Amino acid sequence: MQPVDFYRELLLSTGIKENQDGIGFVTEGSSVPLTVKKKVLVLPTEEIQANYNNSQDDIQVFHPACENVMRKDSEVFNFLKKLYRASLFIDLQQLMLDLAEFSADNSKQGKMNKRQRTILSLLSEFDEKTKLNLEKVFDKIDINGDTKAIDLTVQRGGEVDGTRYNRVGMVRIPFWKDLEEAKDHIHGVKIRKKDIEAYNQILNVIFSDTAARNEDRVITVGTNSSTAPSFVALTLAYIKAKEEIIRVHDIFKDKFHDISSSNLEWQEGLNELNVYRGLIPMYPGNEGEPTIAESKERKRLPEPEVREESSRPRANSHHLNNGGRHTPAKPINEEPLTKPLTWAEIQQKRYENKSYRRDDRDDGRSNGRYGNGRSRNRYGNNIDLSDVDPNLIQEREAYYHDRDHRRGYRDRYDDRYRRDDRRDVRRPRTLNDVR
């Protein structure tokens, strides 16, 4: 299965349609394309890929296989979660209403086959008001609010039937939990005790293989997929709930209203996501929202390290010999360089900007205790290096740092046994000793 075909069949299984008047998808009876963050949802066809740069502000390419496992949920992922939720609720709502209607009307059961009558025999205490009250309850359902009938979530890490997975997809049925806790009202609608019992019976028939066996009324499925694990877990959970609805609907498909789709053959494409990820470029909106740590990370090129000279005069240096005077630095030439400089050119510029008067030697030389009379930085730093390759400078500085470190260690080793260099190195005995 090609990636575009896989994505198309996945989206069509939710009940939406391809837009015949243009690109994208529409809902039944509407001509307004579906959008993600005000961008039209499109498939990554060859035409879309070829013209993406010219239309990227107006379209959102559907390519969840390029999910970044280290990031938060993407815009496409959140859109797909809402789409799955709406599709399952519409199908569940229609199936429950049809079961309630046929269970309450004995005249409609005369032409049913044995299998259909067996299912309806599990439903009792039904009458016309049972269906009417159920319709009123469904009118109070908000698929994106606090009164959801069905919901989908993905958990990062968890167990399913004793097996550990890196992602666990869950379909929750809060409407079922509300029924179990209800007495005479649900979502503000007054209902009878027999209605509550009837609705519970319907849900037990529909989800007999999954949620009916879970006290929390949850359908769970796990995955260890290394490619787009959140997308895989979410889709597997959607498929699991969809299969339950299809199983019951297929028994009554000649009598009941149609559901969004019964085609789930596309799910084989979930095993090819690694291939799809390589066939189609990565598009914004599919990777995931950056984490807090990632958003705070500085997005700039590394700069060469600048070592600040200490303003405090050093002992046995020309700062004392000159009475503490500092030679003013020459102004820096801030004109941009036309081309990168080589290391030899850098050294030449430093040589040209250095004055060799005797009273200026403290700028570049030191008679420090462990030195050999020369500073590590032989020439001045007062030149513009903005256009120089920073990697070249850092590489050179690292070389001299390592060399001087070795020299310093050798000198310190030789001085350890000199009596005049001994210092108080006693181990601290009290807190006062370390202050």
Region 88-92: what's the mean pLDDT? 95
pLDDT of residue 375: 44
pLDDT of residue 295: 58
User: Please, what sign has the CA dihedral across residues 8, 13, 14, 17?
Assistant: positive
Q: Quick one: 381 exposed, middle or buried, by C-beta within 10 A (0-12, 13-18, 19+)? A: middle
pLDDT of residue 40: 95
Region of poorest pLDDT, from 108-112, 190-194, 236-240: 108-112
pLDDT tens-digit profile of 244-274? 999 999 999 989 999 999 999 999 999 999 9
pLDDT tens-digit profile of 354-368? 544 444 444 444 444
Q: Which residue has the higher pLDDT, 239 or 402?
A: 239
| Reported confidence tier of residue 20, pLDDT bands at 50, 70, 90 | confident
pLDDT of residue 386: 55
Q: What is the pTM assigned to this prediction?
A: 0.68
Q: Note the helical H segments in 216-356.
A: 229-251, 273-279, 292-296, 318-321, 343-352
How many helices (H) and strands (E) in the chain?
15, 10
- Alpha-carbon distance 288 to 240, whole Å? 25
| Residues 14 and 83: beta-carbon distance below 8 Å | yes
| Reported confidence tier of residue 330, pLDDT bands at 50, 70, 90 | low
pLDDT of residue 341: 66
pLDDT of residue 362: 47
Query: Residue 42: which H helix or E strand, with range?
Result: strand 39-42
Q: Which residue has the higher pLDDT, 294 or 323?
A: 294
pLDDT of residue 338: 58
DSSP-derived secondary structure for 352-366: HT----GGGGGGT--
- Alpha-carbon distance 93 to 96, whole Å? 5
Return mean pLDDT, the chain: 79
pLDDT of residue 215: 86
pLDDT of residue 185: 87
Distance of CA 363 to the CA centre of its chain: 52
| Reported confidence tier of residue 339, pLDDT bands at 50, 70, 90 | low
pLDDT of residue 14: 95
- Of these ranges, 123-132, 368-377, 381-390, the one predicted with the greatest mean pLDDT is 123-132
